[in-house]
Every structure is written in structure tokens, then in C-alpha cells.
Amino acid sequence: MSPIVRLALEEDIGTGDLTTLACVPEERQAHGRFVAREPLVIAGLDVLRELYDDLTLRKRNGDRCVADETVAEVAGPARLLLTRERIALNFLQRLSGVATAARQFADAVAGTGCRVLDTRKTTPGMRLLEKAAAAAGGIVNHRIGLFDAILIKNNHIAAAGGVRQAIESARGAGLPIEIEVRTRAELDEALASGAQHLLLDNLTPAEAAEWVRHIAGRAKVELSGGITLANVRAFAETGADFVSSGAITHSARAMDLSFRLEL
């Protein structure tokens, strides 16, 4: 069992599920269904594999569901099904929210040639699960953490002494380098220093389109900052290669799913 699932169980059950132990006979067996109560994109089904031995999946991660559709069925001791119900729903609701938001963003930019990226703005301890949910929803995972890619941001530039110094120092790591630029002067310095991936932050779509024309294919372009479902299409149509939005993970709404127990 993964540490995050084990922690969730320990947090909720503690020394025992008092209500279930008091009300439900130990020998009683039961069957249960996880049901979508609204249209959504399902994610988090792998967590159910960790919680239940007798599991039948009716959907796959990334599948669209309609209201009242069964996504999974479980069977076993009634006490176990009841004790793990809330933990299972918490994961499914949260991760399906991320997948649903990701699918909305992916659909919004369809046909532009621009791809949507997620960010590191994730729930502490749940990054891998949320990144998997975002990918299930149809977007592209950006770096997982600080350890697997180089992204030079404004504070790195300040600490390094400038754009050129930051890029030249980072080359020693032997990894692709992405750098954030905030002004046209920083943009031109980054291009002159051989930057191949630029992050343009907090521009309007019109400003972004002008900067993309100036870059003229000399580097990959990612846009970020203030990108929402309402405006992502406008940013995608600037000619940028990528748009990134933290809202996909940090502001995703928990979707409505329920668990229905039957003897």
C-alpha cells in the first residue's frame, strides 16, 4: 500500500471505526458500487486497487462518465467496505476533479497545436496522484518536482546575477533549460544566450502574440500566469507551444460521487 493511502487510513480510522464495529456483525458480507452523481472524467481508480481485494472496475482512468453511472464495484466484509468508504470517495472525488478540469482545458485548446501543461501547485503529498489525474484528463505533465528538470525563474535570475549568468551556470547540469523572462530585454538576452525554452509570465494574449512573433521559432514558448478556462483558448491561439495553469490542480472542484452499499 502506498504511503499516502496508508496515511489516509490511519488518519481516519485511528484505533478503530467505532460506529461500524458497534453496529455491523463481523461475519456480514456486502457489495457496493461507486457511482458518479454528475458528468465527470474519472480518475483515482488505482487507489481502489489498494483498498479492496474484490474489485471490478467499470471505467478506466480518463473515461467520461454520466450521472448515475457505476464506475466500480467492490465486495467483501461489510465492516471493511464501510470503514474504507470515505477514504475511497475522498481520493476519487479529488482526483476526478483534477481530471475533469484537465479535460476542460484540453478541449478548450483543441485544434490550436498548443498543449496544456500542469504545474507543481499540487496538494502536499498527493503530487503523483494529481499529476496522473491531470494526464488522464488529457493534458501534459510538466516537471514532477525540483529534481527532474531545470526551470530558471525570476528569483533564480536575481540570485545568479542575471539571465546570461543563470543560463551559463545551469548548462553544467546537462539537462534541457527553461527560463522565465519578464521583459523584452530579458527575452533578447535569453535568446542571445542560447535559451531553447522560454516561459513568458503574466502577459495578455495580445502581448503574448507579439512576443511569440518576435521569438519567431528560435525557442519553444510556454505561457503562464492568470490562465483560466475562460481565456486559455485566446492564449493558445497566440502561437505558443504550451500554456500552463495551476488552477487545474490547486482549484479543481471535488466531483460528486457516492458509495451505495447492498447486502
Q: What is the pLDDT of residues 65-87, one digit of tens each?
A: 999 999 999 999 999 999 999 99
**pLDDT score, position 98:** 98
> Which positions are catalytic?
86, 121, 153, 180, 201
**Which residues are CB-neighbours of 88 under 8 A, at least 6 positions away?**
34, 47, 48, 51, 52, 259
Residue 197 clears pLDDT 90, i.e. is over it: yes
pLDDT for 145-173, tens place per residue? 999 999 999 999 999 999 999 999 999 88
pLDDT band at 176 (very low <50, low <70, confident <90, very high): confident
Dist. CA 42–CA 156, nearest whole Å: 38
- pLDDT > 90: percent of the chain: 98
Under the banding of pLDDT at 50, 70 and 90, the label for residue 22 is: very high
Please, is 161 exposed, middle or buried when counting C-beta atoms within 10 Å of its C-beta (0-12, 13-18, 19+)?
A: exposed
Segments of the chain assigned to CATH 3.20.20.70: 108-250
Predicted pLDDT of residue 172? 87
Give CATH 3.90.1170.20 domain extents, the chain: 3-106+252-262
- What is the C-alpha to C-alpha distance for residues 131 and 88, in angstroms, rounded to an integer? 18
For residues 114-139, average pLDDT: 97
CB 211 within 8 A of CB 234: no
pLDDT for the residue 144 = 95
Give the pLDDT confidence of 202-223 residue by residue, as tens digits.
999 999 999 999 999 999 999 9
Cell of 57: 472496475
Say if pTM beats, i.e. exceeds, 0.85: yes
Residue 126 has pLDDT above 90, yes or no: yes
Nearest residue to 151 via CA among 121, 180, 187, 173? 180
Name the average pLDDT for the chain.
Answer: 97
Tell me the CA distances in angstroms from 112 to 204, 205, 215, one per residue in order.
18, 14, 18
Query: Over 90: is that where the pLDDT of 174 sits?
Result: no
Residue whose cell numbers read 495578455: 204
Q: Strand 115-117 relative to strand 242-244: parallel, antiparallel, unpaired?
A: parallel
CATH 3.40.50.740 describes domain 108-250: no
| Measured distance CA(135)–CA(188) in Å, rounded | 33
Architecture of domain 3-106+252-262: Alpha-Beta Complex (3.90)
Residues 7-19: what's their mean pLDDT? 97
Residue 31 has pLDDT above 90, yes or no: yes
